[in-house]
Structure 1
């Protein structure tokens, strides 16, 4: 059965009637706000980069869980619409949009990126039927999961495409088989047997470099991407040792590594003997080697349209100077909240603190390696305060220093005596550490557009967010 109907969405029309035309200064808080202009710019940059580099593209929609932003991620035209979801509820909700694309002749491929378990068979079988041949892609990393793949084929009469998930050293060791291990070899043999029986098709190899969030510069992010490619390349060799003519899609990415591909388009700005220049040369060599084999390269990413403090801290692209490509101005998600109380002298060294009406339910509770806090207050709605010109770890000012369920405590880590005054009732905006988690507590996004000069705070749309699993 489909579960989407059990998580009813608020009426978009009713939300638009309530909010469109109002200022974000005049809405109930906390509120999740997206800047459409910044999102479109971030999406267009990624689409242009994969086009220029002749990579395939697969958009992960888990961060935002909306139809509207999915459209921006896949873009216009006739290119394939390749989507990744983390939950089946995302797949069920995006299905009407995928049918729309199919009706216009665009090829659609939806990847459920969680290793398939028996409890998912019924819903995934229905999705396979609804999408048709080649429409659904599954992920596996254990031999027992192949029983579920076979069951989905039996129920839908459609052989699903399958990605083998490869563990490339993600610090969390979340999922995936170790490349060149006995388990990896056994999985490849079994998948090729299913393909021979026309029960499933080994579509490709998939990796997620979650540990790339630890990157602190372009060279490191680029090298993480190279390591992803090398792990999949080695696994592809194993596939081709059994099936030499087998075509494979090698799908790599996490937002730091996927974002870093833009460095390849400005490689002339790095000297050959610099760390960045060496990392680019090594990555290009690996890409060239992959392209000599029967493999297509695909890039995937999810949080890049909205970005957050974690992504800014990776410095996967230049963050300052005339060639800056990743700055505070690219962060498209903010949480609007209200100052509920102020506490002069209560903080460290006698600095002030303030109570913010947004805690971990609104901001998330994931830390950021660049600073001690749970969110950074933007310059919005504060007289004389400008966008920071320094990196996140060097920024000084108001931050969410402590957090509980509904309480955020703003702390000042700037120069004592230079505190920017806050008042009860004042509305502020906060950049969260992790956009995916911060968004989860909201039923919809209020959308503004920073390109509307003089009306940057005016709500231009409302995007309902899918809930559940």
Structure 2
């Protein structure tokens, strides 16, 4: 059915039923997408915190509009590929997107095009920023343009190391939701602005310290704006336990607060050096000083879909950190998948499914063969919910193995002789474990709106 690769011909399926489209096919429920986006954006608004949409889950113009509530919910996004940036240009022109963060550390081969896109976005009234975790990446950028806006990435390994401190009571949340940290036995409140509490050698990698020291102290980098600090709670996708995901939030925020304090300490050291030098030569230090480090505000980007879902259940923590701007980012919330299914998220809320066909049955192994494999799903198995995919409307039969073009459906229930649910030739609808990978495997999205009738065809942005 190669003709379906042409979106114009695929539009012939608009008005058809889902079971009439060629399989495997990716089905999106537009109504569920809208409901999922509205629910989260309203919850974030109630909390009074900033939010940034990660667009990697459903890489399509129409999906990003829904995720941003057409620009009325928020205007900031995170991207993972150049292709995503290129395809955001139309949304930037519309004013729906005004702030874009490239959330993957860059390579030299990308820097020239990124410089062009940064200037293009600036001319359209938007800002393109970059995550960096090494000075070399900043050098790649400077080879192509003199001014950039970057966020320093805090390594997740640091968070793992900090988790042992959390269990010992060294990372705490106050009763009003403000974060405090204990470093080297000293209690440091986020309000006191104390930089002396930060021992960088115990907290951050050498690469991170070098990066911050270079950006602050070296004249060549003074046109590189350190916008803030970034971390992604990807590990939170491995659990549905609210206490664990909340611990991820606390650890991330605590680490980024420490990162911002470390940066201010480096700025303060530079200011002191300038003052001493100016005093020695008898000049006025005020003429060369930059604004006080204590007045510097950074953006602290944390989160993932499980952490933001659980965070919005808690009492308002608008004042969780007053000196900097705390911003959550997430993407899977738009579609949801089996990783997010918990007490508050049901399979019925998952907006992405994959249709396939039962092609064979092996009675001795009690296994069905379906024409949906790695290239239509993914190879990820579940944490809380086992298997690679679950079947809509059928319990105890799940996709347990996948090969390149086909998969295996096995019985995982407790009955000795279960009733066989399928005939060869039956169509089935699968809930994926990972909506991000699954959606990236398909050339077209067949869109429904709360029913089984195809109402639109969306063409996603693919590759790099």
TM-score normalized with structure 2 length:
0.79
- Answering whether residue 259 of structure 2 is matched by residue 228 of structure 1, we say no
**For the residues of structure 2 that align with 1:138 and 1:430, how far apart are their CA atoms?**
36
Structure 1 position 78, deviation (Å): 5.2
For 2:352, the equivalent position in structure 1 comes to 333
Structure 2 residues without counterparts, runs of 5 or longer: 162-200, 268-292
Deviation at 1:68, TM superposition (A): 0.5
Q: Which residue of 2 aligns with 1:363?
A: 377
Confirm or deny: 8 A CA contact 2:159 2:255 kept in the other structure.
no
Q: CA offset at residue 13 of structure 1? A: 4.6
1:305 Cα deviation (Å)?
A: 0.8
What is the match of residue 273 of structure 1? none
Separation in structure 1 between the aligned mates of residue 15 and residue 160 of structure 2, nearest angstrom: 44
The match for 1:33 is 27
Q: How far is the alpha carbon of 1:21 from its aligned partner?
A: 0.2
Q: Distance in 2 between matches of 1:441 and 1:57?
A: 27
| Secondary structure class of the residue paired with 1:409 | strand
1:376 correspondence with 2:390: yes
Q: What does 1:418-433 align with in structure 2 at a 5 Å threshold?
A: 418-433=418-433
Q: Which moved more, 1:247-256 or 1:179-188?
A: 179-188
Residue in 2 that maps onto 1:140 = 132
Contact 2:53/2:67, CA 8 A, preserved across alignment: yes
Which runs of 5 or more structure 1 residues have no equivalent in the other structure? 1-8, 268-283, 320-324, 380-384, 386-395, 451-455
CA contact (8 A) 2:27 2:448 kept: yes
Aligned length: 393
Cα distance in structure 1, aligned partners of 2:42 and 2:320 = 23
The Cα shift of 1:216 comes to 3.2
Whichever of the two has the greater Rg, that structure is 2
How far, CA to CA, are the matches of 1:244 and 1:410 in structure 2? 59
Q: Deviations over 1:380-435 (max 9, x none)?
A: xxxxx6xxxxxxxxxx5110122211111111122233324211111110111111
**Helix, strand or coil: the match of 1:360?**
coil
Superposed displacement of residue 10, structure 1 = 6.3
Which secondary structure does the structure 2 equivalent of 1:460 belong to?
A: strand
Q: TM-score, normalised by structure 1?
A: 0.78
CA distance in 2, matches of 1:171, 1:342: 47
Asked if structure 2 preserves the Cα contact closer than 8 Å seen for 1:134 and 1:161, the reply is no
Aligned to 1:468: 463
1:10-409 to structure 2, matched below 5 A, reads 12-16=7-11, 18-76=12-70, 80-101=74-95, 108-132=98-122, 135-154=127-146, 159-169=147-157, 179-193=203-217, 198-241=222-265, 242=267, 243-264=293-314, 284=317, 288-291=319-322, 293=323, 295-312=324-341, 315=342, 319=343, 325-344=344-363, 346-347=364-365, 352-379=366-393, 396-409=395-408
What displacement does 1:142 show?
A: 0.8
Q: Is the 8 A contact 2:132 2:151 kept in 1?
A: yes
1:185: Cα distance to partner? Answer: 2.6
State which drifts further: 196-205 or 421-430: 196-205
Check 1:218–1:426 CA distance in 2 against 1; reply closer, same or farther (3 A cut).
Answer: same
